[in-house]
Chain A
Amino acid sequence: MDFNDTPQEAEYRVKVRAWLEENAPRGIKGVSLGDEDPELLIACKAWQAKKAAAGYAQIRWPKDWGGGGGSTIESVIFGQEESRLGVNLGGPFAIGLGMCIPTVMATADEETKARFIGPAVRGEELWCQLFSEPAGGSDVAAIRTKAVKDGDEWVINGQKIWTSGAHYSDYGILLVRTDPDAVKHKGLTMFWIDMKSAGIQCKSIHQMSGARGFNEVFFTDVRVKDSQRLGALNDGWKVSIVTLMNERASVGGGRGAPGGGALSALKLAQKMTDEDGAPLSTDRAFREKLADWYVRGEGLRFTGLRSLTALSRGQTPGPEASVAKLIQAAGAQDMANEMLELQDQFGIITDPKYAAAGGAFQDMVMGAPGMRIAGGTDEILRNIIAERVLGMPGEIRVDKDLPFKDLPTGR
């Protein structure tokens, strides 16, 4: 047991490290999904193109599809080395390459694959994923956006929501209802769509945090050709599972600072004082909480390293990684609030001129509720762990045998 690379991995690391030292752009602030400004997007695209030319974009994919023909562990090593240099410019491509293009690969004809895969790998074209709707969040199959056949075209009307990057995306994969008379899961179909099609309107969502990182996308009589269909008619649910499986296949284990955010919490507490002038970091109650946060962060880090070890040994990682988001999101909320209250009256301040630690914990208090919902709510994640990992029975479904149009709905 150790943290070392195998000789092969070490050799690969040396190689990519040298390439990155030579080629990686420096001094560009990290990009997270959805909040890219146009200039950053240009930098991201340039870096993606450079990686693609050298075989470092989509390392796990076959060379024929513009990938690197490498292993998962190699792609993880490349990611680690990129992070080491502070290069974090992959955000805009995550959804396209992580979910949309794999769906295209699994379902489209050769011509369509040839048209889209290369440009996506090279970062020339960006993709978004149009699944969630106001009426279909955790219950994605409850979506209502409908497509009605008109000759060899489909006419789409409805609304998607929480679509990251819709405003800058060139294409999207779109899940719609094609048969409202069928039961819920059997009347859905997947299409690819040009985001510049007439009748598409994007509107940013004003989040409770004040930020605008996602979109609502409205479809008014938008026309797509039947040839843009991905998979069989009314087989969209199965196709969407392919998409979501690919999301889960991405492994990012072992990154991040030791102890999650606990060490920066400690630093801040050391600078603040209690009623008697002693540093707040000496408060016993605070220290016990801090220890819990540190151990939780470390537990996740080591779990990631266990998954990497499985990959490194040519095995499939176990289900351990399924706990990561559940623990992280709720944990961050809990820690951020404790750090806010520790500041006493000052804790309410977010003004960057005055806020403690630059307002980082206040930001986290406002961001954490979103983390607990996005990409699977705490509740859905617990169901998934219970059902898929522990083998508990599935939920009772009252919507299983009714035609979609007859299902009871709220708003």
Chain B
Amino acid sequence: MNFDFSDDQLALKEEARKFLSAKCPPDSVRKLMEDDSPGIDRALWTQVAEQGWLGAAIPEEHGGLGLGYLELCCIAEELGRAVAPIPFASTVYFFAEALLRAGDAEQKAAYLPKIVSGELIGTIASSEGTGPVSATKITAEVSGGKLTGVKIPVTDGSIADYAIALANEGGKPTLFIVDLNGAGVSRETVETLDRSRDAARIEFKDAPATRLGAAGDGLALYEAINDRAAVLIAFEQVGGSDMCLEMARAYALERYAFGRQIGGYQAIKHRLSDMYAKNVLARGNAYYGAWALNSDAPELPIAAAGARISASDAYWFGSKENVQVHGGMGYTWEVDCHLHYRRSRQLSVVAGSPRSWKHRLITMLERSNAA
């Protein structure tokens, strides 16, 4: 049995943790959220690029390190733990993965090396309104290579250079690459719960769009990309919820009330145990996702759903109970519990909410039960 990361992968994770605790302490995330135009720590972005992390899973022929997805999962966990304010997920898990999966040689050559170097921020634009994305709800339209429509929210949309947009062409959902600095694109930054990440409303009016993948393959590709991103986001969530438990644990030991450490009270102990239990389950499910992602296993959609559902549950529970254990201090801006509380909301919905993943998981289980 070999269901764990290797020593080398664990060493990479350890290194990433050290790097991020030096370059991305909670203070810097909080300060960034106080800025007028938050959403990206440019200095951190440059340093992350220098570490080679943006290209961890991008093949060497495109300038990446060509390590693999297990390594990328290790990095993702640490980014989640640090609540890193950079467009890593949008650029790497979505934009780069979409290109690797569906791009032609020319598209890969044009964008992937720039992703690796940190020159290019990419994202995905799928949502147009409330509720889950579906074929019937796409109104964005491409005709004659020009995209028209509105996408909201587009994570990292006001800082991204390119987006992959889901739009209909000839009535069929298809993916397109759009230059967000080009003609026909107007962007408006949208306030969200999590100011450590940018979000935008993007209006396209005859914006030049290049097809990514085959016409009509849009939804299938979108799902396949989401499956891959879901595993990586689950690792960010696992990292975040582990950090919530560590914060709550440390506070429970240092805070005294009624003459003793609050961690001595069962009301607190049992809450921390429940956080721990959820984190253990989430980690187990995330590891299965990592295995499926890395080995391109047919189990990936089920594994991704499991990872996503379990990690969303753990991070929400961990982030809200972390505030609770901290009591009044936890509700202050300076104590940082809210960084995770906010990020947990962002990560829960960014690749489709747990609700829709649950429905999707059961649909897949029904199919395999019938088979």
Contacts and interface: CB of A to CB of B under 8 A. Distances in A.
Interface of A: 1-6, 9, 73, 254, 259, 262-263, 266-267, 270, 281, 284, 287-288, 290-292, 294-296, 298-303, 305-306, 308-313, 320, 323, 326-327, 379, 381-383, 385-387, 389-396
A301 B284 contact: yes
B270 to A, nearest CB: 4
A254 B288 CA distance: 13
A262 B305 CA distance: 15
B366 A266 contact: yes
Contacts of A266: 362, 365-366, 369
Contact of B281 (A73, A300, A387): A300
B249 A390 contact: yes
Given A303-B283, A305-B3, 11 more contacts: A2-B291, A263-B365, A287-B359, A295-B306, A301-B284, A302-B287, A320-B280, A327-B281, A383-B273, A392-B264, A393-B253
A263 B364 CA distance: 12
Contacts of A393: 253, 260-261, 263-264
10 contacts: A4-B1, A288-B358, A295-B306, A299-B282, A299-B310, A302-B287, A303-B283, A306-B287, A313-B2, A392-B252
B125 interface: no
A299 B281 contact: yes
A281 B370 CA distance: 13
Contact of B277 (A6, A9, A290, A326): A326
B5 interface: yes
A379 B270 contact: yes
A-B residue pairs, 6 tightest by C-beta: A299-B281, A302-B284, A386-B269, A291-B358, A393-B264, A382-B273
Contacts of B4: 1, 306, 309-310, 313
Contact of B306 (A284, A294, A385, A389): A294
B290 interface: yes
A270 B366 contact: yes
Given A382-B269, A386-B272, A393-B260, A1 B253 contact: no
A308 B1 contact: yes
B231 interface: no
Contacts of A1: 2-6, 70, 287, 290-291, 294
Contact of A306 (B269, B284, B305): B284
A298 B357 CA distance: 16
A310 to B, nearest CB: 7
A393 B252 CA distance: 10
A323 B253 contact: no
B102 to A, nearest CB: 26
Given A287-B359, A323-B276, A393-B261, A4 B2 contact: yes
B219 interface: no
Contacts of A308: 1, 3
Interface in B348-371: 355, 357-359, 361-362, 365-366, 369
A272 to B, nearest CB: 14
B358 A5 contact: no
Given A306-B284, A392-B263, A323 B362 contact: no
Contacts of B253: 391-393
B148 interface: no
A29 B264 CA distance: 46
Contacts of B357: 291
A323 B282 CA distance: 12
B1 A312 contact: yes
B31 to A, nearest CB: 31
B108 to A, nearest CB: 26
B351 to A, nearest CB: 16
Contacts of B280: 299, 303, 320, 323
Contact of B310 (A287, A295, A313, A394): A295
Contacts of A327: 277, 281
Nearest to A284: B359
A32 B121 CA distance: 59
Contacts of B281: 295-296, 299-300, 303, 323, 327
Contacts of B306: 294-295, 298-299
Contacts of B365: 259, 262-263, 266, 294
A383 B269 contact: yes
Contacts of B272: 385-386, 390, 392
Contacts of B290: 1
B274 interface: yes
A101 B370 CA distance: 47
A300 B284 contact: yes
Contact of A299 (B249, B270, B285, B291): B285
A268 to B, nearest CB: 11
A176 to B, nearest CB: 30
A3 B310 contact: no
